Amino acid sequence: QKEVEQNSGPLSVPEGAIASLNCTYSDRVSQSFFWYRQYSGKSPELIMSIYSNGDKEDGRFTAQLNKASQYVSLLIRDSQPSDSATYLCAAPFSGGYNKLIFGAGTRLAVHP
């Protein structure tokens, strides 16, 4: 198993729907997670971080962490076409907060 795995998509949702992006991880990463958004041709930008079990909400975004099942999710409520991007899940290597390992990313397409 890769350290951090994501479905590459594309995930296609209609405008106004909830988009659910998932990420699974192995024991080789520390349980502190980051969600980055990357528009085509641009650099990644941080949108959420989570390190505690449960949910963390920020505006239309909710990150969910389930340590028992080793997955982390990002929910986007009221999806907009401007949310269309690739979403990268990342976590630090165990014992090394300086080094992040990234999933391959899930491409989200929100259609009007």
The residue ranges that bind other proteins (CB under 8 A) are: 8, 32, 34, 42-46, 49-52, 56, 88, 90, 92, 97-105
Shortest Å distance, C-beta 38 to other proteins: 9
Residue 98 beta carbon to other proteins: minimum distance, rounded to whole angstroms: 5
List, in sequence order, every beta strand (DSSP E) within the chain: 4-6, 11-14, 19-25, 33-38, 45-50, 54-58, 61-66, 71-76, 85-93, 96-102, 106-111
- 57 vs 78 by CB, closer to other proteins: 57
Minimum CB distance to other proteins, residue 7 (Å): 12
Contacts (Cβ under 8 Å, ≥6 apart) of 19: 11, 13, 75, 76, 79, 83, 108, 110
C-beta closer to other proteins: residue 17 or 26? 26
